[in-house]
Amino acid sequence: PTAELQALDAAHHMHPFTAGAELAKKGARVITQGKGVWLTDSEGNRIVDGMAGLWCVNVGYGRHELGEVAKRQMDELCYYNTFFQTTHVPAIALATKIAELAPGDLNHVFYAGSGSEANDTNIRLVRRYWDVKGQPERHIIISRKNGYHGSTMGGGSLGGMTPMHQQGGLPIPGIVHINQPYWWGEGGDMTEDEFGLARAKELEDKILELGPEKVAAFIGEPIQGAGGVIVPPATYWPEIQRICQKYGILLIADEVITGFGRTGNWFGSQTFGIRPHIMTIAKGLSSGYAPIGGSIVCDEIAETVGGAGDFNHGYTYSGHPVASAVALENLRIIEEEGIIDHVRNVAHPYLAERWKALEDHPMVGEAKLVGLMGSIALTPDKARRAKFASEAGTVGLRTRERCFANNLVMRHVGDRMIIAPPLVIKPEEIDVLIERARKSLDESYAGLKA
Ligand code: PLP
């Protein structure tokens, strides 16, 4: 029975990013099954998953092929490591496939178990790179406020989430943050293009303030996901790219969300014309069917670090055979079923038109969408792009709760509502998503006026 499960859950299971006391009071929703974009809970409700789990179930729930591959691999070779000059077929095959898909000379994969671990790898990798290059003072990494790069000490430090920094003594030394390119919320009187340039210029200012000889790398998500699906102005990334190149700073694109089709290309870097030295990957790499992540590394860094003796870093599960085999099968499905073309076709214009139309709602300020990654800003005053003062954050929370009550998973970040459904979503399912979102917005708005 649901109540019994909830009581045991509250008693014994510590949830990420969740207040334990709240959980004990309300009980967590128990999800029991998934198929395509649909979830079922322990009460038999059918829920549209507008978030693909945590932005990861790209091929949708319930793909039996992935389970079959996992079973075959477990029977064949359940585990072996990739330390100390050993390897195995799934790790080789997956790295080869990733290198084929990744743009430019991103030809080398360092495996991790998650996006956070991969970003921890990146910190050590870029610092090691500069050490080998004879520039050991070059260790600072510049990141952005409100970026998200994971929950480990390294990932949480790279991230610029104030609530995370407030707990556990983050960030660790050697990581500094500049402002995010969030025009709607912070752009003032500037045009989007002007603002994009101004925010990119902050990188140059920070590099000059620190001294270019001290800066190892800049890291950013092509589109900030957990920060609220902040789509940068068109001027932003080209200018960031130019500045990194000018000062010889390594560029890390965190593609944990934007990778593997989410933005209508294999990688978000392709959508925005970014040419990174390293990409962080996880989530959609296996569509969440197995925990796996990694860093895709360019020739120069891989050869420099690899040519200089042991890189003293790695995880027991780096290149785990079962996770690697599942990821490879997942990439086969994305490729052979034309899922990235599907994203392009279904996102534009079908979802884009319906998403944009939400701007006619009295509480919706802007509606942004790139591929199948979207956000709306909730506002008490569209013309002024105002934020809720007295109810800051609670309007988004209430809207999310209304969505959940209406059997739609939509996430809130403060007063921004976000979606990232499985990439296989069909037009008729988009209709259900939009209808439930609209109903939830109406109910939340009614609560606002009361
Ligand atoms: N980087 C980005 C951009 C993410 O969105 C996330 C997770 O949401 C991570 C890193 C961390 O990945 P994981 O939760 O697999 O550690």
Q: List the 38-41 sheet strands across, edge first.
A: 31-35, 38-41, 46-49, 408-409
Both 89 and 182 in one domain: the answer is: yes
User: By alpha-carbon position, which residue is closest to atom 13 of ligand 1?
Assistant: 115
Q: Which atom, in ligand 1's list, is nearest to the CA of 293?
A: 15
Specify whether the CB–CB gap between 47 and 408 falls below 8 A.
Answer: yes
Q: What global pTM score does this model have?
A: 0.98
418 close to 403: Cβ distance less than 8 angstroms: no
For the CA of 226, the closest atom of ligand 1 is 5
**420 CA from centroid of ligand 1 (Å):** 14
Same domain (yes/no): 109, 42: no
- Asked if residue 385 and residue 249 are part of one domain, the reply reads no
Please check whether residue 432 lies inside any domain of the structure.
Answer: yes
d(CA 330, CA 59): 7
For the CA of 258, the closest atom of ligand 1 is: 3
Cα(384) to ligand 1 centroid in Å equals 33
Q: Are strands 140-144 and 416-419 parallel, antiparallel or unpaired?
A: unpaired
Which residue of 58, 111, 116, 260 sits with most ligand 1 atoms within 8 Å of its CB, as the best mutation to test the pocket?
A: 116
φ, ψ (nearest 5 deg) of residue 34: -145, 145
Q: Under a CB-based contact definition with an 8 Å cutoff, are residues 45 and 407 in contact?
A: yes
Residue 9 in any domain: the answer is: no
Are 276 and 347 found together in one domain?
no
Verify that 331 and 375 share a domain, yes or no: no
Domain boundary residue, one of 336, 351, 383: 336
> Does a structural domain hold residue 6?
no
Is residue 296 located within the same domain as residue 192?
Answer: yes
Pocket test for ligand 1, best of 257, 286, 289 (most atoms within 8 A of CB): 257
| 153 close to 173: Cβ distance less than 8 angstroms | no
Cβ neighbours around 197 below 10 Å, total: 17
> Residue 375: beta bridge partners?
368, 418
| Pocket-testing residue among 15, 148, 255, ligand 1, by greatest number of atoms within 8 A of Cβ | 148
Give the Å distance between the CA of 115 and the centre of ligand 1.
5
367-371 own/partner pairs: CB under 8 Å, 24+ apart: 368/229, 368/231, 370/223, 370/231, 370/263, 370/264, 370/271, 371/261, 371/262, 371/263, 371/264, 371/265, 371/271, 371/343, 371/344, 371/347
Q: Which atom of ligand 1 is nearest to the CA of 114?
A: 15
Same structural domain, 273 and 354: no
Compute the distance from residue 148 Cα to the ligand 1 centre, in Å. 7
In a domain, 241, yes or no: yes
**In angstroms, what is the span from residue 76 Cα to ligand 1's centroid?**
30
Verify that 290 and 393 share a domain, yes or no. no
> Is there a domain that residue 13 lies in?
no
In tens digits, the chain (450 residues) has pLDDT values of: 999 999 999 999 999 999 888 888 999 999 999 999 999 999 999 999 999 999 999 999 999 999 999 999 999 999 999 999 999 999 999 999 999 999 999 999 999 999 999 999 999 999 999 999 999 999 999 999 999 999 999 999 999 999 999 998 999 999 999 999 999 999 999 999 999 999 999 999 999 999 999 999 999 999 999 999 999 999 999 999 999 999 999 999 999 999 999 999 999 999 999 999 999 999 999 999 999 999 999 999 999 999 999 999 999 999 999 999 999 999 999 999 999 999 999 998 999 999 999 999 999 999 999 999 999 999 999 999 999 987 777 999 999 999 999 999 999 999 999 999 999 999 999 999 999 999 999 999 998 865
243 and 183 co-located in one domain: yes
Q: Is 430 within the bounds of a domain?
A: yes
> Distance from the CA of 340 to the center of ligand 1, in angstroms?
21
The protein residue whose alpha carbon is closest to atom 1 in ligand 1 is: 149
Domain of 368, CATH number, reads 3.90.1150.10
| Residue 30 falls inside a structural domain | no
State in Å: Cα 268 to ligand 1 middle: 15
Cβ-based neighbour number of residue 349 at 10 Å? 10
Beta strands in 171-240 (DSSP E): 175-178, 215-220
Ligand 1 centroid from CA 227, angstroms = 11
- CA–CA gap between residue 107 and residue 103 (Å, rounded): 9
Identify whether residues 367 and 417 lie together within a single domain: yes
Q: How far is the CA of 149 from the centre of ligand 1 (A)?
A: 5
Residues 251, 214: one domain? yes
Name residues whose C-beta falls within 8 Å of residue 419's C-beta, 6 or more positions apart in sequence: 50, 51, 372, 373, 374, 375, 410, 411, 433, 437
Structure-token pair, residue 40: 């079922």
Tell me the CA–centroid distance for residue 150 and ligand 1, in Å: 5
370 phi/psi in degrees, rounded to 5: -130, 120
Element (H, E) at 244: helix 236-247
Read off the tokens for 124: 């050590």
**122 CA to middle of ligand 1, Å?**
13
Closest ligand 1 atom to Cα of 150 = 11
Look at residues 336, 367, 383 and tell me which one is the last residue of a structural domain: 336
115 CA closest ligand 1 atom index: 12
Ligand 1 pocket: which of 55, 221, 230, 256 to mutate (most atoms <8 Å of CB)?
256
Instruction: Classify 266 as helix, strand or coil.
Output: coil
Most informative mutation of 149, 260, 287 for ligand 1 (most atoms within 8 A of CB): 149
| CA–centroid distance, residue 1 to ligand 1 (Å) | 33
Q: Which of 308, 336, 364 is the last residue of a domain?
A: 336
- Taking CA atoms only, the protein residue closest to ligand 1 atom 10 is 149
Number of structural domains (the chain) is 2
Query: In ligand 1, which atom is closest to the CA atom of 254?
Result: 3
Residue 432 and residue 288 in one domain: no
Q: What is the CA(117)–ligand 1 centre distance, in A? A: 9
Protein residues whose CB sits closer than 6 Å to any atom of ligand 1: 54, 114-116, 119, 148-150, 155, 221, 225-226, 254, 256-257, 280, 282, 293
Q: What is the CATH number of the domain that holds 327?
A: 3.40.640.10
**Residues spanned by the domain of 118:** 65-336
According to DSSP, residue 60 is labeled -
Q: Output the CA 445–ligand 1 centroid distance in Å.
A: 31
Q: Does residue 27 sit within a domain?
A: no
| CA 392 and chain centroid, separation | 24
